[in-house]
Amino acid sequence: MATSAIGPGFLTQTAVFTDSLRASFGFAILVSIVFDLGAQLNTWRVIAAAGQPAHVVANAVRPGLGTLLTALVAIGGLAFNIGNVAGAGLGLNVLLGIDPTLGAALSAAIALLLFLVREAGRAMDRFAQLLGLLMVALTVLVAWRSHPPLGEAALRTFVPERIDVLSIVTLVGGTVGGYITFAGAHRLLDAGVSGVKSMGEVTQSAVRAIGIASLMRAVLFLAALGVVSGGGVLDPANPPASVFRIASGEVGYRVFGLVMWSAAITSVVGAAYTSVTFLRAALPVVERRWRETICVFIVVSAVVFLVVGRPVKILILVGALNALVLPVGLVAVLLAARRPAIVGEYRHPAVLSAAGWLVSAAMAAMGALTLWRELPKLLR
């Protein structure tokens, strides 16, 4: 779940909003962490208690609700994947200097190869994990070298000068929106972790995943804040890459390009696989031809990006769009938590239920506000 969240959209969103909100972006990060925990703890615990994937749980609550959730997750997964292809294009642009659209097309072809050749995919996964550790180390180094105003960042995290709804919606959507909400829970089911006896392990896993993603977000925020507070001007064509270029020079800039590309290319395959997993349960034709469906999913993602372009705007937009999927899935698991026929002897904590309903209502309201007021600006 954490590696799904920390992708090109995660990096771009953090740099863009730090540039516009400065230290006050810390408040958006704090709110998003609270919302992320509320969403993830409820979702993972109920799915583990039921011992069934999210769409099955939702259909047990009300016939057709799981089908609706599947459609929303698939649409959100496609949006995520368009962003992943865009991020891969930006990564190759930094690494090799080629046009982002050409880089996106090449990356989509490589993603297909990684999916179809199992050994290549496994090798790329290991490579991406090593580069992920390198990304953490490089970000910490950039944060240290950029000398961010820590006092101001701490103050504005709790007393912001400006509150931006779009930033909160986008962060939550990019961390636990769309398919990412269910990715870790379904992986636990695959590993046989389910039932009341597993609640301690499930809770620890959920908190740990959010903790990893949040720590990386905070460090990247401080790195970008140090750069812009020191007078650095971020390149609008690739804001996160320019953070690393300004703070660590050409070597850090090229390394960042490699890391961003690897994170994006593995996410292209992962998002397609997880989204199609939902569709397999709803559509028999997808179950029979799931490998071909994943390939089509990747190709469509690439074609949409090549037609639309504007990679940075897409990476911001997909987080906001996937935040709108969250209330549907969260309401479904909250209703399921109250039905012994679904969760058996498990008793869901009242505090978690209250937190989940609060997150659902807040995200629905902020998502609607974003659609009405903010998204048209991004689409122009």
Q: For residue range 357-380, list pLDDT tens digits in order.
A: 999 999 888 877 777 776 666 556
- The mean pLDDT of 196-209, rounded to a whole number, is 92
Residue 200 binned pLDDT confidence (cut-offs 50, 70, 90): very high
The predicted structure's pLDDT at residue 124: 61
Residue with tokens 């698991």: 333
pTM, two decimal places: 0.85
| pLDDT > 90? residue 309 | no
Cα 169–chain centre separation? 12
| pLDDT > 70? residue 6 | yes
| pLDDT > 70? residue 128 | no
The predicted structure's pLDDT at residue 30: 95
Of the ranges 135-149, 197-211, 255-269, 278-292, the best mean pLDDT one = 197-211
CA dist., res. 225 & res. 139, Å (int):
12
CA dist., res. 107 & res. 279, Å (int):
24
The CA-to-CA distance between both ends of the chain, in Å, stands at 32
DSSP secondary structure, 269-317, as one string: HHHHHHHHHHHHHH-HHHHHTHHHHHHHHHHHHHHHHHHH--HHHHHHH
Contact in structure between 128 and 262 (CB atoms under 8 Å): yes
**All structural domains of the chain with their residue ranges:** 2-379
CA dist., res. 242 & res. 260, Å (int):
13
List pLDDT tens digits, range 284-307. Answer: 888 888 888 889 999 999 998 888
Contact in structure between 9 and 173 (CB atoms under 8 Å): no
| pLDDT > 80? residue 311 | no
The predicted structure's pLDDT at residue 136: 78
Contact in structure between 274 and 77 (CB atoms under 8 Å): yes
Count Cα atoms within 13 angstroms, Cβ side, for 331: 15
The predicted structure's pLDDT at residue 102: 93
Residue 204 binned pLDDT confidence (cut-offs 50, 70, 90): very high
The predicted structure's pLDDT at residue 120: 61
Provide the CATH topology of domain 2-379.
Amino acid/polyamine transporter I (1.20.1740)
List pLDDT tens digits, range 152-165. Answer: 999 999 999 999 88
- The mean pLDDT of 92-113, rounded to a whole number, is 91
Residue 38 binned pLDDT confidence (cut-offs 50, 70, 90): very high
Structural Rg of the chain based on CA atoms: 20
Q: What is the maximal distance between C-alpha atoms in the chain? A: 59
Query: Average model confidence (pLDDT) for the chain?
Result: 86
